[in-house]
Structure 1
Amino acid sequence: MPRQIITIGPVPCEENAAQVGRSDYDKRSRLECQVFKRMLERLHPIPASCPATLVIHSFPHEFGAYREVCVRYDDTDQDATNYAFDLEGDTPAEWDAIARYELIWFERLEALTRAVRKGAMRPDEVPALFQSGQLPALPAGHTFSQLLAAFPL
């Protein structure tokens, strides 16, 4: 089956992304792309029988590889082609409330994990929200402040 790929971006177009060449690029870009991919899947779900998928793809760069979220689709299928071009044309400009929450949650999880590893805190002192290492199931349609009130970080 013929496949095409359209790059969507590493983050929403009006947001700052991790910069290639910086020491934290690999970890930061991986996280940003994962959160952005989940956001796109929430806002633009792929129809069940549509031969398209969202992927995180690495591309070569003179300072190393860089990552972007892409849509891979079967260009002989009209539904898949429509989905890919609709997604490209309707990509969100900013993080939604859930994605903003997820970015902060992952940063907090990393800080807590580092504190436990260094012995600065005991595992039983880690807040319950972070003990499983799994994001909480965040409800759609809430503002960022409503999410923070319901799931304090």
Structure 2
Amino acid sequence: MNELEIGTVPAEEQCQQVGTPDYDAISAKKECSIYKKYLQRLFPIPPTLEDEVSYCIKSLPHDYGNYYEVAIKFNGENSEAVEFAYNVEAKSPLCWDATAIDELRTLGLIA
């Protein structure tokens, strides 16, 4: 399976920053979980690609410890799967939507 890293949160939003004094890995994982659900709402995987594409949360090494990121895995030999994955990467949202903001508030990640 091929993989594209999409990000930790939408590009214009604040997130947990590994290496900072207030970094909280549990909160970082929760942010990624909400972002993953957001992407799944915006870009649901078509039934024909369910075995070819999936969203996941990855743990990646950094000089200051591990950080987390949402990625999309896809079968690089299936042109529809490749197109779907690159479309998600290209059109990923810049900001949270109302549903995601409610989830972040419920988990105490924003005021």
- Counterpart in 2 of 1:61? 62
Give aligned-pair identity as a percent: 34
Corresponding residue of 2:27: 28
More strand by share: 2
TM-score under structure 2 normalisation?
A: 0.91
TM-fit CA distance, 1:79? 1.0
Deviations 1:61-116 (A, max 9, x none): 010011100000000001110010000000000000000000001118xxxxxxxx
What stretches of structure 1 of length at least 5 have no aligned partner? 109-153
Q: Give the AA of the match of 1:89.
A: A
Residue 88 of structure 1 corresponds to: 89
Of 9, 12, 15 in structure 1, the residue corresponding to residue 13 of structure 2 is 15
Q: How many residues align?
A: 106
Matches within 5 A, 1:88-107: 88-107=89-108
Q: CA RMSD in A?
A: 1.2
SS in 2 for 1:49: helix
What's the secondary structure of 1:63's corresponding residue? coil
Q: Which has the higher contact order (CA 8 A, sep 6+)?
A: 2
Flag structure 2 segments of 5+ consecutive residues without an equivalent. none
User: By percentage of residues, which structure has more helix?
Assistant: 1
For the pair shown, the structure with the greater C-alpha radius of gyration is 1
Runs of 4+ with deviation above 4 angstroms: none
TM-score by length of 1: 0.67
